[in-house]
Each structure stands twice: as C-alpha cells, then as structure tokens.
Amino acid sequence: MVRWCLLIGMTILAANQHSEAGDEVTPHVVLGIHGGIGEDKKDMTPELEVKVRAALNAALKAGKLKLDEGGSSLDAIEAAIRVMEDDPVLNAGRGAVFTHEGRNELDASIMDGKTKKAGSVASVTVIKNPISAARAVMEKSKHVMLIGRGAEVFATRQGLEIVDPNYFWTKHQWDSISEIWKQEAAEEAKKKGNCDENSTSESPSLRKPHFGTVGAVAIDKNGNLAAGTSTGGMTNKMFGRVGDSPIIGAGTYAENETAAISCTGHGEFFIRFAVSHEIVSQIKYKKVTAKEAVEDVINGQLKGVNAEGAAIVLDKHGQFTTARNSEGLYRGWITSEGKTQVRLYDE
Ligand code: GLY
C-alpha cells in the first residue's frame, strides 16, 4: 500500500515538474511548423484565430506538396516558411514587427541535416522572403551568415524578390509599436515629473514585447532532416538587434543523426542557452528522447530563468513533438498520409 502511494506520488510529481504545455509525440510526421508563441489567449479574437489557422494550414499544404512531388526536406521547409512569411498575420516577412525606430528588420536561417550546411541572413529590410535568401547563402555562397546590406546585395544578385521596405508595413504591427511609443513617452514624462493633467495617474505598464517567429522542421523520403526559422524579431527592438532565429544552434538546428529543431521565444535567452544545439546534444550524449530533451530545455532550463518560448522537434524517426512554457504556440504538423493537426493553445 505504502509502495503504491509512493509510486502514485512520484508519478504526480514527475508529471507536475513541467508545465505540460507541450504536445504528445506523434509518429510518421513529415513536416511540423510553428507560427510563434502568438498572442496571449485573452487577446485572441475569433477573426484572428481563423486567420492564424488558415496561415498554418496553407503552410502545411505547401510544404507537403513539395514532399509529395519528390522534393527534399529543404524544399518543404522553404515552401512552408515562404507561405508564413507572405501572410501578414504572422511575425515574419510581411507581418514583421517594428523596431524602436519604426523599421522592419528581418532574420532567417535554414539548415540541412544531411550535410550540416547552413545559411542565414539577419537585419534585412528589403528581401521579400528571407528564408529563400538564407537558403541561397547556404547553397550559393561560401559563407553561413550574411547581414544587412551585404545580404541584400547578395539576394539581389541571386535574383530573389526585392521589395520596398513599405511592403512590410502592417496596421496591426504599427498600432502595436505606436502604443509602446506612447507608453514610453508617458513613462519618460512621469520620470521628469512632467505629467500633464490629461495623463492617467496610474503608470501604464509597458506592453509585453512580441516574440513571434515562424519555423519548420521536415524529413523527406531519403530520411534527410532540415529545419528553418524566420522572424521580424522582437517588437521595439533596438536597430541592429539580432535574435536567435538566424543563429545556427540557437533558433535552428538539424542533423540526420538526431533531430531537426526550430524555436520561438525571447531570442537573447535562446542564444545564451544555445537551445536547438542543446536539444540535439542531449539526445546524442545523454541518450534521452527528443521529448525529454526539449522539455528539459524549454520547461526546465529556460523556465528556470523566466525566459519565455517554445521549440518544435522532429526526430530522425519522424516523431514530432513540441514543448512550450508560453500560454500559446501556433503550430501544426502533417503525417506522411496527410493527417493534419493545427493547434494554438491547449487543445
Ligand atoms: N525568437 C525571435 C527573436 O527573439 O528574435
């Protein structure tokens, strides 16, 4: 009896160790995607939910089509992420957040699990699809990472689509940065003792920055894994700030021996904890499952320092899972038979 109680107690303890906000392990997955940690549930509207679900479904469809046509995991990643970059509802490409200075600076990376080749771009302002630029860096340059003007000149020379920076202007992201500017101005005025009589007596708490990102992990018929991530970064970031998304080993990693990973969350922490590489290292050296590794990093290490975020993982056996310490994670996955799941919060 005592032994049973102890066993039940230990099971409950183990189950409560993590937020349990990750998804179950799903086998036979060929493509998994995320659209970032998204809005807090209280800010989600039915209209927005429809748009987010449509964006994720379209991305899964585009990526799966590539695989069905015999394309590689890299083709699937690029196709799925391009769809999410083109959709203004997600924080990547078209829907990118604004910097403190009111500009859009985009980051992206891609990694091939077979060769461990990788490419990334950071702080780009005119490349319509940064994920395609990242792939071009990987395949058509001798470098891994290009930033700013250099990346833009390279993308232009590669014939990638270049747009006016205004292409990335969206009303909802402009409203978001405008609200932050207002709050910062009010804080500043308060510090100087300049509150005018129209300002509220309560100090407005600064809006939580938006850490949205999009990403994908895939495996093709040859068993080759790939991963990619793209983002507008963090709302109100300083110009020139680069997060984890274009950093190989932080926001993105893939190797055929273990798994493919794409992350979303507070980039500074994901860089410091080398999150995606930490996950594959745990699988490789600690001999734990992908699920155990991702839970340890997201709900153990990162949660321990109050770093918000999530990761999606596809292991070499086609088993897909996620872990998050955030309320939501826009995500979806599709199996080789075309069985699709799209989820935003606990479902
Ligand atoms: N994870 C996206 C960023 O921090 O830029």
Per residue in 275-305, pLDDT tens? 999 999 999 999 999 999 999 999 999 999 9
Per residue in 137-148, pLDDT tens? 999 999 999 999
The yes-or-no verdict on residue 45 having pLDDT over 60 is yes
Per residue in 253-279, pLDDT tens? 999 999 999 999 999 999 999 999 999
Backbone phi, psi, residue 217, to 5°: -130, 140
Distances, alpha carbon 89 to alpha carbons 32, 69, 96, 251, 285, in Å: 19, 28, 9, 21, 39
**pLDDT band at 196; cut points 50, 70, 90:** low
> How high is the pLDDT of residue 163?
98
* Share above pLDDT 90 across residues of the chain, in percent, rounded to a whole number: 85
Distance 310 CA to ligand 1 centre (A): 11
- What percentage of the chain's residues is helix, strand, coil (to nearest 5)? 40, 20, 40
| Superfamily grouping for domain 18-169+210-343 | (Glycosyl)asparaginase (3.60.20.30)
Token pair in block for residue 72: 């590689």
Mean pLDDT of the chain: 91
Per residue in 299-347, pLDDT tens? 999 999 999 999 999 999 999 999 999 999 999 999 999 999 999 999 8
The yes-or-no verdict on residue 4 having pLDDT over 50 is no
- Pocket probe for ligand 1: among 99, 245, 302, the residue whose CB has the most ligand atoms within 8 Å is 245
Atom of ligand 1 nearest to the CA of 267: 4
Q: Is the CB of 99 under 6 A from ligand 1?
A: no
| CB of 266 closer than 8 Å to CB of 308 | yes
* Residue 25 neighbours by CB distance under 10 Å: 16
Atom of ligand 1 nearest to the CA of 232: 5
User: Closest residue (by CA) to atom 4 of ligand 1?
Assistant: 267
Distance 242 CA to ligand 1 centre (A): 8
> How high is the pLDDT of residue 2?
39
Per residue in 5-16, pLDDT tens? 333 334 333 333
Residue type, 151: A
User: How would you write 211-236 as a 3-class SS string?
Assistant: CCCEEEEEECCCCCEEEEEEECCCCC
Is residue 162 classed as helix, strand or coil in its secondary structure?
strand
The yes-or-no verdict on residue 41 having pLDDT over 50 is yes
> How high is the pLDDT of residue 194?
62
Distances, alpha carbon 252 to alpha carbons 69, 81, 140, 165, in Å: 25, 13, 20, 26
Token pair in block for residue 182: 């207002």
Distance 230 CA to ligand 1 centre (A): 9
Tell me if residue 213 is catalytic.
yes
Instruction: DSSP letter for 263, please.
Output: E
Atom of ligand 1 nearest to the CA of 268: 4
- Tell how strand 29-34 and strand 106-112 pair up: unpaired
* Residue 315 neighbours by CB distance under 10 Å: 25
Is residue 252 classed as helix, strand or coil in its secondary structure?
strand
26, 99, 125, 213: which is the annotated catalytic residue?
213
> How high is the pLDDT of residue 211?
75
Domain residue limits, the chain: 18-169+210-343
Distance 34 CA to ligand 1 centre (A): 13
H-helix segments, the chain: 2-16, 46-68, 73-86, 130-140, 148-157, 171-191, 267-272, 275-281, 290-295, 303-304
| CB of 77 closer than 8 Å to CB of 119 | no
